[in-house]
């Protein structure tokens, strides 16, 4: 009887030990937590986050804070079940599958490179959007970013070529170039005027068919030449989600009155050169970051409204819905004028 009891006790102890040990085995999940808040019209380590050179700029009170999400886990830093369950129960954290941030077909270096590129692109787009909102002219050129193999442009056009004309008509930017090239029947010729190494060259290509659309097999991007320099310094932060707050920060630097009226404003959203504000991920945690920063208002893209209102901190800040940069500017003007938060566009 004693031996049987001891055997049962040892079995129970082993099972408990295995259960406890299993809680600390690595699992393929990420934990998203509120990250840092960075004032885009402030300074980091004595250096302006947004620095304008070649144009008069201004400094104002208040904050225009870009907020971030901090991710734990990923390749080389797996989460254990205990940590994941704790995060699952936390109102300020979220649990995501690892592949949501780290696709299995991409290396960590490729992911970091992509995040850095998205950050660079968002800063350029933010500058363009801010200048558009302020009616400041700038030049935009259509640049070849890549050439497909075995396509009409292969062996003719090259990465870095600036397309200045299509069929003798000037084009400014990738949208005009794509529209002009595709505005014909597949198989029809197209003449491109290209600036390469300071020299002008002409190429006549025969378009090919892509589901009824004429194309020549190039990737085209925008190269924007601004009338002054705008430098943005944010350290190791990557991704495109700070675009809207960058654009507002640039406008604040270029505007004598300023945008915040001394208020602390946070927000998150991508930006396009035409001012379109797009949704982002991790907004639940970003609203918490905004509340911890002491923000009175949180500007959010309409596409992210659901996330914002489901945040544990949604009742601590006034969430303002924006679809375009101009909407954010109008909301900030109302805030400066002392508008009732209930009268601002909300989710």
- pLDDT, tens only, 257-293: 999 999 999 999 999 999 999 999 899 999 999 999 9
Helix or strand run (H / E) with residue 82:
helix 81-89
Lowest mean pLDDT among 71-80, 148-157, 241-250: 71-80
Q: What is the mean pLDDT of residues 189-211?
A: 95
The pLDDT of residue 49 is above 80? yes
Both tokens assigned to 193? 């005027």
Model confidence, pTM: 0.78
* Cα–chain center distance at 42: 20
> Quick check: helix, strand or coil at residue 32?
strand
Q: Which domains does the chain have, with CATH numbers?
A: 32-79+116-136+227-343 (3.30.230.10), 139-225 (2.30.42.10)
Per-residue b/e over 110-144, b at no fewer than 16 CB within 10 Å?
A: ebeeebeebbebbbbbbbbbbbbbeeeeeebbbbb
Predicted confidence (pLDDT) per residue in 215-227, tens digit? 999 999 888 999 9
Lowest mean pLDDT among 21-35, 182-196, 246-260: 21-35
- Sequence-distant (6+) residues with CB within 8 A of 203 are 153, 156, 157, 191, 192, 194
Predicted confidence (pLDDT) per residue in 121-143, tens digit? 889 999 999 999 999 999 999 99
Predicted confidence (pLDDT) per residue in 313-347, tens digit? 999 999 999 999 999 999 999 999 999 999 999 98
């Amino acid at each position: 009887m004693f031996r049987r009891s001891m055997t049962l006790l040892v079995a129970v102890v082993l099972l408990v030990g295995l259960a406890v040990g299993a809680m600390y085995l690595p699992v393929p999940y990420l934990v998203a937590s509120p990250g840092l808040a960075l004032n885009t019209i402030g300074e980091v380590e004595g250096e302006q986050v947004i620095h304008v050179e070649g144009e008069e700029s201004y400094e104002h009170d208040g904050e225009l804070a870009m907020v971030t999400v901090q991710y734990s886990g990923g390749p080389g830093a797996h989460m254990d079940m205990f940590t994941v369950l704790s995060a699952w129960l936390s109102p300020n954290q979220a649990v995501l599958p690892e592949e949501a941030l780290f696709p299995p077909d991409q290396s960590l270096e490729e992911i970091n490179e992509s995040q850095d590129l998205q950050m660079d692109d968002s800063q350029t787009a933010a500058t363009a959007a801010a200048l558009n909102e302020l009616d400041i002219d700038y030049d935009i050129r259509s640049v070849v970013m890549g050439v497909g193999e075995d396509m009409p442009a292969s062996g003719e056009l090259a990465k870095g070529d600036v397309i200045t004309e299509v069929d003798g008509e000037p084009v400014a930017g990738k949208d005009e170039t794509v529209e002009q090239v595709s505005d014909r029947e597949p198989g029809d010729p197209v003449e491109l005027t290209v600036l390469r190494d300071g020299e002008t060259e002409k190429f006549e290509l025969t378009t090919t068919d892509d589901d009824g659309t004429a194309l020549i097999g190039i990737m085209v991007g925008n190269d924007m030449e601004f009338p002054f320099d705008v430098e943005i310094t944010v350290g190791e932060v990557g991704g495109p989600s700070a675009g809207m707050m960058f654009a507002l920060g640039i406008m604040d630097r270029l505007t004598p009155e300023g945008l915040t009226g001394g208020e602390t404003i946070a927000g998150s959203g991508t930006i396009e050169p035409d001012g379109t504000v797009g949704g982002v991920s991790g907004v639940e945690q970003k609203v918490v970051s905004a509340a911890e920063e002491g923000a009175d208002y949180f500007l959010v893209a309409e596409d992210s409204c659901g996330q914002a209102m489901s945040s544990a901190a949604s009742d601590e800040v006034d969430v303002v819905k924006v679809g375009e940069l101009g909407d954010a500017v109008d909301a900030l003007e109302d805030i400066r004028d002392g508008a009732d938060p209930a009268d601002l566009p909300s989710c």
